[in-house]
Structure 1
Amino acid sequence: MIDPPRSTNVPCVDQDRRPHRGPRLAHLSFVLLALTAGCASYGSKVERFTNAWNAGDYDSADAAIDGLISKASGVPSEVVHDSRGLSEAIDPSEGDTALYLLEKAMTQLALGDFDACIDLLRRSRDTLDPRHVNRDASAFIGTVALDDGFADYVGADYEHIVLRSMLAIADLLNGGDDAFAYAIQIDEKQEQILGSDFGAELSEDENAVTYSPQEQYQRVAIGAYLLGLVQETKFMTDEGAKAYERALEWSGGVGVVQDAYDEMSGASRIEQGTGLVHIIYLGGSGPVLVEGASPVSDLALALASIALVVLENEAGPLAQTQVRVPVVAVQDSFVPPITLRVGDRTVTTETLLDVNTVAQQQSDANMPWIVARAVLRRAFKAGVSKIAANQFDDRGAGELVNLLGNLLLTAAERADTRSWRALPAEIQIARVRLPEGEYVFELGGSASTGIRVRSGRTTHVVVLRPNLAAPATLLVDVYSRVQDVVDAPVSEAPTAAPVP
């Protein structure tokens, strides 16, 4: 479910077009009309990439995202392609480049280039983090002159969690040298988000209107689980058991997490001479943002009132109408678990993170802020239109300009629908222990690959399938590929977490 093509996402003016001299009314009308034309919605900008990704055509998706990175960063597409998006000439802070690099990271993962995937994710993380950490409600509601699409992309809270999760997953496939640090960063980021004072800084007295959406967020278990997995791989059994215990609590008792905890805590026995095959299933096409409409709630109006004092009473009537807002559109509402065969054993995946649900919950929690900002922006533009109308001596002309300005500027409103579109709908996991040896890993006869299992070690397999009706792509960690087996170094428990 993708944004339908629209004439605009944010108001923009074609700089090569200039209004001819003439009556001020015609001049103003032309400028207002120009504001409503010439821009494509974000959904239409990324449509070619999104369609290719959702179809499992990763080469085409990679070519499409290269073009978007080139346009946003000003770097030739050949340089983007040849450097795998890692050229120093590509500035992630330019336009929406950081967001496009997240999409590029996923295509590189799908194509088996784990190094590039990790580097791209890190560049995006390091660009988006300062924007995310330094935001505050005062600035959020105070800069209302332009649509949100003009602002730097910050990333939804859940995207920051999944970004670090993908870093840990990609690093496990790449040997796991930095997976410990990435896994720690997942829960550090989650605690930072849950402890955010966003909104609280507006409370200068006991009667102030405040609202902290993060207080409504539910903890997700993926960070604690992946930390437990890494600690298990590094033979840190006590620490692994504690991490799995947290994951078990936050996941609501997922069976595969219980199995992991039982093994690490000693409640169940691990057979000698066996190794763990760990499966991560990135299933379905994840949630995207599309433009919708929302009524103005009492809470949104109360939040908006903080800034409305500078606009006198201009926003009163406007606040009673619906405003355009980004809403979460679920593409794959249900991702069936998959059954895998390894040798003579079968195992079925269970959901660890429902990205759809988390995205929807967080969007609902933040909606009062989004609506309040839309109300303020509409009020600001109405004020600008009234100022323009007051410049006319003829009262009728002034009223016409005011009406025309309100209509056109309201029509120019576009919700900010930028979002990370290559995310899965769900992240599911499965575990199975097998005697040391080489095996054929099979997914329902539609996909298979060879893997090597070693005693006391963990073999990581990622199943990637954005299109639930198409064959999956199987990705095996670099130390467990039968066709390219490398002796993995023995992992020792680190004295301190690395800082990648």
Structure 2
Amino acid sequence: MKTSMLVLAAMTLAGCQSAYRNHAKEVANSFKNGDYQTASATAKEGAAKRADDETERVIYNLEAARTAQAAGDYYGSITHYDAVHEDLRPYLDTEAQYTVSEAVATTAVNQAMRTYRGTPGERIMASSMNSLNHLAVSDRDSARLELNRAWDWQQDAIKRYQKEIEAAQKKLEKEAEDEGVAGSTSRDIPDFMKSYYSGLENMSGYADYRNPFASHLRGVYMLTNAVDDGDRDRARFDLRQAIQDNPTCAPALRDDLQLLEGSQRHLVPPITWVYFMTGRSPYYEELEIRVPIPSSQVPTAAAAFPMLKTHDDHLRYMEVDIQDGNGPIKTVQLVDMDSVVANEFNTRLPLIISQEIMSAAAKAAATYGMSEGMGDWGTLIGTVYQQATAEADLRCWQSMPKEIQVARVLTPQGGQIQLSGPGGRNLGTASVTPGESNIVVVTLPSAMAPNPSTMSLQLTGKPIKPQLKAPEQAETPAS
């Protein structure tokens, strides 16, 4: 009876994982095709269904937040990003990332049983993206708060992320010893697995979990909304750090640094920064193989691992033209999100592999025990249980961009900025407030998407347009 319930539970859990994968695929397909409204509606529905599921709701809310933002529902996006922060906030400096109960669950079932709390890169991006929402609804104080949160997450990652992975590895080694499968864990990628993950070492990311986009966004906010010289010093620090992390972006940042380092740094002319969020960030596919385990009775076992895959379907750049007679300006790369995601995945990979091999070994040992005690019926139950629970954790924030690029222009007097892609492809016109500093955010998830999603955000002066009303008062118009 107990073993039958175990198999039933395993099948139920497998069904939950299948539901997530189908949902993520549906959202990703709509988003990729530029159907922002459908992607948002699907993601919002999924997040509502998972509102009470502590294991899954962070990843559902991340997708709902980003797709709502692309659909022009800024208040809805804020709601989902805030829900993410409420779930993650207890882990900022205070709580361990890996609990004993989760370790037991991941060994007995699979790593998708772990509560999803986001990676450092996802946490930093969530706060940075939410700051854009607050600027869109003219709440600059809340935008500053979100930028500070992004900084806090980066500092938290420096202090704790690697240490917690090492602590989890030690805990896993102790558990493996207690389970009698001590040879199943390793602090390096096993030789028989290396061919599956070749190339990751070439995607190195940025030092200390930094994100040049987060640095740049905070820098231009502090530049245009400085209340004292401390803010201006912070702006200079952030812009310098962005260039240090990614020298490619220097042409778009030098003029702002010169402003901050000159005697007239209190006098900032009306500037518009254009962010081009092109493509989609990496995703995971499942690798199912049989792996060697430290057991004389069962030398191999079925196991499943996540494999990182990147999207190549994106526009390589965008051109920004304020029609001043000087021609268009091409965007330059600010952050390579592929490298950010790959670097963090590579850091976790030895632990992921060790957990899965240990889990496979423990399940194989249990199957052997049931076979010895129950004969063919025990073998059948154990085999079904192994197959039902051999699933990799494929959860990740798929609607993040592949790259974020930037261009800097003086705000045009006519308030119109022409946007175009390679080959002169028309990407539309962005409207900005003349005489003020602005941010324009252009999202194009794939080259095949017919039109981008465009946000125009005012950084300085009294907004000409009134604040958008919250969803309970009126529908928020799409940009």
Same fold (TM over 0.5): yes
Distance 2:461 2:34 in 1: 23
Question: In terms of mean alpha carbon deviation, does 100-109 or 64-73 score higher?
Answer: 64-73
Query: 2:347 is matched with which residue: 358, 365, 370?
Result: 365
**In the TM superposition, what are the counterparts of 1:469-484 in structure 2 within 5 Å?**
469=448, 470-477=450-457
- After superposition, give the CA deviation of every residue in 1:113-168 in whole Å (9 maximum; x if it has no partner): 32332232011122134367521386664441122223322223321121122122
Q: Shift of residue 278 of structure 1?
A: 1.0
Q: For the Cα contact (< 8 Å) 2:46–2:60, is it kept in 1?
A: yes
Q: Describe the SS at the equivalent of 1:198.
A: helix
Aligned to 1:227: 218
Aligned to 2:278: 283
Change (3 A) 1:424 1:184: same
1:328-477 alignment to 2 at 5 Å? Answer: 328-332=308-312, 335-344=315-324, 346-392=328-374, 398=375, 400-401=376-377, 403-412=379-388, 413-434=390-411, 437-444=413-420, 445-454=426-435, 457-469=436-448, 470-477=450-457
Do residues 47 (structure 1) and 43 (structure 2) align? no
Which one-letter code corresponds to 1:286 in the other structure? S
CA shift for structure 1 position 261: 2.1
Distance in 2 of aligned mates of 1:352 and 1:49: 26
Q: Per the alignment, in what secondary structure is the counterpart of residue 427 of structure 1?
A: strand
Distance 2:404 2:378 in 1: 51
Residues 165 and 348 in structure 2, CA contact (< 8 A), matched pair in contact too = no
Show the counterpart of 1:162: 125
Q: Which residue of 2 aligns with 1:71?
A: 49
What residue number does 1:193 align with?
A: 157
> 1:416-449: per-residue Cα shift (whole Å, max 9, x none)?
11222221111111111246x3322111233113
Equivalent residue, structure 2, for 1:98: 58
- The residue aligned with 2:87 is 127
Q: Deviations over 1:272-323 (max 9, x none)?
A: 79410111111112222221247869xxx9xxxxxxxxxxx548955x6673
Following the alignment from structure 1 to structure 2, what is the Cα–Cα distance between the partners of residues 257 and 409? 56
State the identity as a percent. Answer: 19
Equivalent residue number for residue 239 of structure 1: 234
Query: Does the 8 Å CA contact 1:341/1:443 hold for their aligned counterparts?
Result: yes
User: How many residues of Structure 1 are paired with residues of Structure 2 in the alignment?
Assistant: 418
Equivalent-residue separation in structure 2 for 1:165 and 1:449 (angstroms): 21
C-alpha contact (below 8 Å) 1:285/1:423 kept by paired residues: yes
Give the C-alpha shift of residue 56 in structure 1: 1.1
Confirm whether residue 111 of structure 1 aligns to residue 71 of structure 2. yes
Alpha-carbon distance in 2 for matches of 1:481, 1:315: 73
Query: Cα gap change, 1:179/1:333 in structure 2, threshold over 3 Å: closer, same or farther?
Result: same
Give secondary structure in 2 for the equivalent of 1:414: coil
Superposition deviation, residue 415 in structure 1? 0.7
What SS does the corresponding residue of 1:184 show, helix, strand or coil?
A: helix
Q: Which residue of 1 aligns with 2:146?
A: 182
- 1:473 Cα deviation (Å)? 2.1
Instruction: Provide the residue aligned with 2:108 in structure 1.
Output: 145
Q: Are 1:485 and 2:464 an aligned pair?
A: yes
Q: In the TM superposition, what is the alpha-carbon distance from 1:169 to its structure 2 partner?
A: 2.5
Residue 80 of structure 1 is matched in structure 2 by none
1:86-130: CA deviations, max 9, x gaps? xxxxx4x54523322222212321232323322320111221343
Per the alignment, residue 13 of structure 1 pairs with none
For residues 38 and 170 of structure 2, the distance between their equivalents in structure 1, rounded to whole angstroms, comes to 53
Q: Distance in 1 between matches of 2:68 and 2:384?
A: 43
Unaligned runs of 5+ in 1: 1-18, 74-90, 302-312, 393-397, 489-500
Give the TM-score normalised by the residue count of structure 1: 0.72
- What's the secondary structure of 2:414's corresponding residue? strand
Report the aligned-residue RMSD. Answer: 3.9
CA separation of 1:383 and 1:363: change in aligned 2, threshold 3 A: same
Deviations 1:304-352 (A, max 9, x none): xxxxxxxxx548955x667311222212366411001123252221111
What is the alpha-carbon distance in structure 1 between the residues aligned to residue 265 and residue 357 of structure 2? 60
Cα distance in 1 for partners of 2:297, 2:249 equals: 49
Report the CA distance shift for 1:212/1:120 in structure 2 as closer, same or farther (over 3 A). Answer: farther
CA gap 1:322/1:259 in 2 versus in 1, 3 angstroms: farther
Question: How far off its partner does 1:187 sit?
Answer: 2.4
More off after superposition, 272-281 vs 226-235: 272-281
Q: Structure 2 vs 1, CA of residues 278 and 36 (structure 1 numbering), >3 Å: closer, same or farther?
A: closer
Amino acid paired to 1:415? A
1:49-71 deviations in whole A, cap 9, x for unaligned?
A: 22111111122112222332343
Asked if structure 1 preserves the Cα contact closer than 8 Å seen for 2:271 and 2:409, the reply is yes
Secondary structure of the residue aligned to 1:452 is coil
Q: Find the aligned partners of 2:170 and 2:361 in 1 and give their Cα distance.
A: 24
CA distance in 2, matches of 1:358, 1:253: 16
Give, in whole Å, the separation in 2 of the partners of 1:225 and 1:106: 20
Conserved? CA contact 1:339–1:349, under 8 Å: yes
Structure 2 residue runs of 5 or longer lacking an equivalent are 175-184, 190-203, 421-425, 468-479
Aligned counterpart for 1:218 among listed residues 203, 206, 218: 206
What CA distance in whole angstroms lies between the structure 1 residues aligned with 2:151 and 2:8?
49
State the distance in 2 between where 1:37 and 1:123 align: 26
**Corresponding letter in the other structure for 1:218:** Y
SS at match of 2:328: strand
Residue type of the alignment partner of 2:400: L
Distance 1:418 1:477, change over 3 A: same
SS at match of 1:443: strand
